[in-house]
């Protein structure tokens, strides 16, 4: 395993990372292994982020480099026969709130982290979360919001999940800049976070992964 | 102005200035920073009507200021919805536009300038703004992008002004765009009239207005309004020189605007909304390169012009406290959202007053007792020096429970009289 590619991605050297990928592929490397290696590098970034050694720009730029590498590798990938099942998470910005920047960074990192992320978008009504739980059977539901009106929307969404008889099938996290323990208690969620690192920590805890 | 009102106004402003200057006041004041829909919601006015009916909105702010016992009257953070409608802005969504009547207005962050357009903007900021940015932020202004408009200096004489300028102005898309601008200006004039009448009325009643106008830090202008979070962070790696040049150009505008709004509003207090400088958004190294120099420059320029900068440190600024210690002591009214209060006192206790920071979540979903306990915690911590002003972390939350806003006043009276 080449640490060269990991170093280039973690060091945010986009052109170099892509050049290494092309060289590896041209030399006959297994495309799936190349992609896995790139994902591992993103994992390193994620860990650094959780420790406070990397920040939003690294995550966004890392996500961009991943996208470039995937575009390069995917045409050469053979159809995967039995891809391992991944834990599913449904996420969205709650009704009345159209802010999605924070949620998008969470979606990016959960995806890179190997979760099957279903992003419902923003201004999502409680019944759409309920329908997504019925359809996708996620382990975790993430409710995002930036405005104070989101507190009541989050509560209404949790209430709707309870009313639909689905509450014991999912863990619910509430997140966003103004969210804290108080909001978790108010909404009846199982966890809260005001940043991406908190979302990752909760997911790891709830899906039985080591942090 | 009644004598009582005059006296109260002077006392309240003096108390604010003393606290900023780190002198212990007679008591802890409540200085709500900014207000959007709280007062109108409390009065049963829809968010839609709050945006369009400026007189009713200001009446509600006046009533709330008196009812909830605030020491200052918060500045209205909402702009004229009739102005948005006249422009057909696509950069904001608002109740009565395409949002329901009870929704809040919201900013639509997008790449209004592409990465490959930096040089075009830098070489001709005015032309680029007119022909590229305006059509992208407002449907009513699309005409400026549909007809070639030469640089103004091409028309710097009567012959070309009439020949070229006359022809450009005759084009229907340009006419339509100009009509949108004039209609926007009419709407804004109505808003400003209501705003000025409110400032005058509140002053007569003894309430200074918290701040005059907002000035956004240069990095946030570029990140929020030109390139988006994603674009601006990618630019840190892909186009750092152009990003920095644009930040420097925008900085000239922000410093110029700060001086202008202080003169126009007559209010020395300038609100600086802070977005992307918070802990977690970037590393210290990136902060030092892209955010801090122009933010610090803006704060110092406002002080130099005789103003009081009111940065609202949105998010968690605990990791940035060491930078804030570089400001001259007793000059900055820093307003905090989430922050380690004890750490603040340790690092900045001798140089900056503390303004804030009862959590918005508590005011919106907690009980009056929880609010009072939190205020007590703040006063216990900062009461010895007394350099404390109370507010939520972010001004008056739209969804604050009225009983919790009453509890804020009760707690200030109970624990905050020295």
Q: Which residue does chain B place closest to A104, by CA atoms?
A: B230
Q: How confident is the model at residue A2 (pLDDT cuts 50, 70, 90)?
A: low
Contacts of A18 in chain B (CB under 8 A): none
A101–B283 C-beta distance less than 8 A:
no
Q: How confident is the model at residue A74 (pLDDT cuts 50, 70, 90)?
A: confident
**Contact assessment for residue B100 and residue B106, using Cβ atoms and an 8 Å cutoff:** no
A56–B281 C-beta distance less than 8 A:
yes
- Is B356 within 8 Å of chain A by CB? no
Q: What is the mean pLDDT of residues B233-258?
A: 97
Predicted local distance difference test score (pLDDT) of residue A80? 59
Please name the residues in contact with B34: beta carbons below 8 A apart, sequence gap of 6 or more.
Answer: B74, B75, B76, B77, B210, B211, B271, B312, B394, B395, B396
Report pLDDT digits (tens) over B183-222. 999 999 999 999 999 999 999 999 999 999 999 999 999 9
Contacts of B282 in chain A (CB under 8 A): 55-57
Predicted local distance difference test score (pLDDT) of residue B1? 47
A54–B106 C-beta distance less than 8 A:
no
pLDDT at B22 over 60: yes
E strand intervals along B71-211: 75-76, 92-93, 106-107
Please name the residues in contact with B127: beta carbons below 8 A apart, sequence gap of 6 or more.
Answer: B149, B151
A182–B315 C-beta distance less than 8 A:
no
**DSSP alpha helix (H) spans, B239-340:** 240-265, 284-286, 292-304, 321-324
pLDDT at A211 over 80: no
Three-class secondary structure of residue A116 per DSSP? strand
Q: What is the mean pLDDT of residues B169-182?
A: 98
A56–B282 C-beta distance less than 8 A:
yes
Q: Which residue does chain B place closest to A59, by CA atoms?
A: B233
What pTM does this model have? 0.94
Please name the residues in contact with A104: beta carbons below 8 A apart, sequence gap of 6 or more.
Answer: A119, B230
Residue from A149, A152, A187, A199 to probe the interface with B (highest B Cβ count within 10 Å) = A149
Tokens representing residue B239 in the block: 């186009």
B104–A96 C-beta distance less than 8 A:
yes
Please name the residues in contact with B135: beta carbons below 8 A apart, sequence gap of 6 or more.
Answer: B141, B142, B143, B144, B145, B146
Tokens representing residue A23 in the block: 């060289």
In this prediction, what percent of chain A has a pLDDT beyond 70? 95
Report pLDDT digits (tens) over B250-275. 999 999 999 999 999 999 999 999 99
A177–B282 C-beta distance less than 8 A:
no
d(C-alpha B200, C-alpha B192), whole Å? 12
**β-pairing verdict for B308-316 and B269-274:** parallel
CB A55: neighbour CB atoms within 10 A? 21
Q: How confident is the model at residue A172 (pLDDT cuts 50, 70, 90)?
A: very high
d(C-alpha A8, C-alpha A21), whole Å? 10
Report pLDDT digits (tens) over B349-383. 999 999 999 999 999 999 999 999 999 999 999 99
Contacts of A55 in chain B (CB under 8 A): 280-283, 286
Q: What's the first-to-final CA gap in chain B, in angstroms?
A: 30
- Is B391 within 8 Å of chain A by CB? no
d(C-alpha B205, C-alpha B70), whole Å? 12
Look up the ipTM and state it.
0.88
Predicted local distance difference test score (pLDDT) of residue A84? 63
C-alpha pair distances (Å), B295 with each of B34, B300, B302, B313: 21, 9, 11, 12
C-alpha pair distances (Å), B27 with each of B357, B369, B408: 17, 21, 14
Report pLDDT digits (tens) over B136-145. 999 999 999 9
Q: What is the mean pLDDT of residues B20-30?
A: 97
pLDDT at A1 over 60: no
pLDDT at B224 over 70: yes
Q: What is the mean pLDDT of residues A103-116?
A: 89
Predicted local distance difference test score (pLDDT) of residue B105? 93
pLDDT at B111 over 50: yes
Mean of per-residue pLDDT scores for chain B: 96
pLDDT at A147 over 70: yes
pLDDT at A58 over 70: yes
A186–B104 C-beta distance less than 8 A:
no
- Is B108 within 8 Å of chain A by CB? yes
Please name the residues in contact with A127: beta carbons below 8 A apart, sequence gap of 6 or more.
Answer: A160
Contacts of A179 in chain B (CB under 8 A): 361
Q: What is the mean pLDDT of residues B34-49?
A: 97
A151–B399 C-beta distance less than 8 A:
yes
CB B123: neighbour CB atoms within 10 A? 9
Q: Classify residue A208 by burial, with Cβ atoms within 10 Å: 0-12, 13-18, 19+.
A: exposed
DSSP string, A5-43: HHHHHHTT-HHHHHHHHHHHHHTT--HHHHHHHHHHHHH
A195–B280 C-beta distance less than 8 A:
yes
Predicted local distance difference test score (pLDDT) of residue A21? 95
Tokens representing residue A174 in the block: 């509430």
pLDDT at A78 over 80: no
A97–B106 C-beta distance less than 8 A:
yes
From A183's Cα to the closest Cα of chain B, the distance in A is: 6
Contacts of B104 in chain A (CB under 8 A): 96, 147, 149
Contacts of B230 in chain A (CB under 8 A): 60, 101, 104
pLDDT at B21 over 50: yes
Q: What is the mean pLDDT of residues B64-87?
A: 97
**Contact assessment for residue A48 and residue A61, using Cβ atoms and an 8 Å cutoff:** no
Of A17, A23, A15, A22, the C-alpha closest to A5 is: A17
Three-class secondary structure of residue A93 per DSSP? strand
Report pLDDT digits (tens) over B284-342. 999 999 999 999 999 999 999 999 999 999 999 999 999 999 999 999 999 999 999 99
**β-pairing verdict for A140-144 and A191-193:** unpaired
Of B337, B278, B332, the C-alpha closest to B310 is: B332
Facing residues of B34 across strands? B75
d(C-alpha B198, C-alpha B55), whole Å? 8
Q: How confident is the model at residue B5 (pLDDT cuts 50, 70, 90)?
A: very high
Q: Is B93 left (phi over 0), alpha (psi -120 to 50) or beta?
A: beta
A64–B106 C-beta distance less than 8 A:
no
User: What are the structural domains of chain A?
Assistant: 3-76 (1.10.1240.10), 88-206 (3.40.50.280)
Report pLDDT digits (tens) over A122-133. 999 999 999 999
In this prediction, what percent of chain B has a pLDDT beyond 90? 98
From A146's Cα to the closest Cα of chain B, the distance in A is: 10
Q: Classify residue B417 by burial, with Cβ atoms within 10 Å: 0-12, 13-18, 19+.
A: exposed
Residues from A in contact with B at Cβ < 8 Å? 12, 14, 54-58, 60-61, 64, 96-99, 101, 104, 147-149, 151-152, 177-180, 182-183, 186, 194-195, 197
From A64's Cα to the closest Cα of chain B, the distance in A is: 8
- Is B231 within 8 Å of chain A by CB? no
Of B409, B316, B397, B315, the C-alpha closest to B361 is: B397
Contacts of B361 in chain A (CB under 8 A): 151, 178-180, 182-183, 186
């Amino acid at each position: 395993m080449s640490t060269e590619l990991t170093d280039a991605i973690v060091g945010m050297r986009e052109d170099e990372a892509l050049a290494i990928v092309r060289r590896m592929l041209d030399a006959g490397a297994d495309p799936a292994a190349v992609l896995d290696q790139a994902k591992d590098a993103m994992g390193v970034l994620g860990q650094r982020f959780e420790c406070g050694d990397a920040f939003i720009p690294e995550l966004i730029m890392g996500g961009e480099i991943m996208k470039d590498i995937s575009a390069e590798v995917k045409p050469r990938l053979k159809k995967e026969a039995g891809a391992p099942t991944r834990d599913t998470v449904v996420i969205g910005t709650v009704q009345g709130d159209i802010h999605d920047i924070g949620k998008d960074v969470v979606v990016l990192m959960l995806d890179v982290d190997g979760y099957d992320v279903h992003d419902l978008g923003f201004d999502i009504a409680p019944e759409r979360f309920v329908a997504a739980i019925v359809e996708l059977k996620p382990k975790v539901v993430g409710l995002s919001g930036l405005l104070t009106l989101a507190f009541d929307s989050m509560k209404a969404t949790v209430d709707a999940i309870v009313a639909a008889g689905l509450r014991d099938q999912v863990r619910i996290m509430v997140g966003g800049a103004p969210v804290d323990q108080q909001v978790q208690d108010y909404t009846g969620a199982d966890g809260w976070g005001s940043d991406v690192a908190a979302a990752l920590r909760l997911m790891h805890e709830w899906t039985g992964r080591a942090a | 102005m009644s004598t009582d009102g005059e006296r109260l106004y002077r006392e309240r402003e003096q108390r604010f200035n003393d606290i900023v200057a780190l002198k212990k006041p007679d008591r802890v004041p409540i200085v709500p920073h900014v207000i959007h829909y709280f007062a109108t919601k409390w009065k049963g006015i829809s968010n839609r009507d709050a945006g369009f009916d400026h007189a009713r909105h200001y009446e509600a702010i006046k009533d709330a200021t008196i009812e909830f016992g605030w020491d200052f009257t918060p500045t209205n953070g909402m702009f004229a919805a009739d102005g948005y409608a006249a422009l057909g802005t696509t950069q904001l969504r608002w109740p009565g536009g395409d949002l329901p009547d009870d929704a809040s207005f919201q900013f639509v962050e997008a790449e209004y300038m592409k990465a490959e357009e930096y040089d075009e903007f830098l070489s001709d900021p005015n032309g680029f703004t007119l022909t590229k940015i305006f059509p992208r932020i407002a449907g009513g202004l699309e005409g400026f992008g549909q007809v070639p408009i030469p640089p103004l200096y091409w028309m710097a004489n009567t012959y070309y002004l009439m020949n070229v300028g006359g022809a450009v102005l005759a084009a229907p898309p340009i006419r339509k765009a100009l009509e949108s601008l004039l209609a926007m200006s009419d709407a804004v004039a109505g808003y400003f009239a209501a705003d000025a009448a409110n400032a005058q009325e509140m002053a007569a009643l003894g309430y200074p207005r918290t701040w005059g106008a907002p000035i956004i830090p240069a990095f946030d202008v570029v990140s929020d309004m030109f390139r988006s979070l994603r674009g601006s962070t990618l630019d840190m790696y892909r186009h750092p020189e152009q990003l920095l040049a644009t930040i420097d150009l925008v900085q000239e505008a922000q410093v110029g605007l700060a001086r202008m709004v202080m003169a126009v509003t007559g209010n020395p207090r300038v609100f600086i909304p802070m977005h992307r400088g918070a802990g977690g958004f970037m590393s210290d190294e990136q902060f030092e390169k892209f955010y801090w120099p122009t933010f610090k420059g803006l704060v110092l320029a406002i002080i130099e012009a005789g103003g009081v900068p009111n940065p609202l440190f949105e998010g968690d600024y605990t990791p940035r406290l060491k930078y804030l210690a570089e400001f001259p002591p007793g000059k900055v009214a820093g307003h905090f959202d989430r922050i380690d209060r004890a750490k603040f006192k340790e690092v900045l206790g001798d140089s900056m007053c503390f303004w804030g920071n009862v959590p918005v979540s508590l005011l919106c979903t907690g009980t009056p007792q929880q609010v009072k306990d939190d205020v007590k915690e703040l006063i216990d911590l900062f009461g010895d020096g007394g350099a404390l002003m109370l507010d939520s972390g972010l001004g008056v939350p739209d969804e604050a429970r009225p009983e919790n806003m009453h509890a804020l006043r009760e707690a200030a009276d109970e624990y905050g009289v020295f």
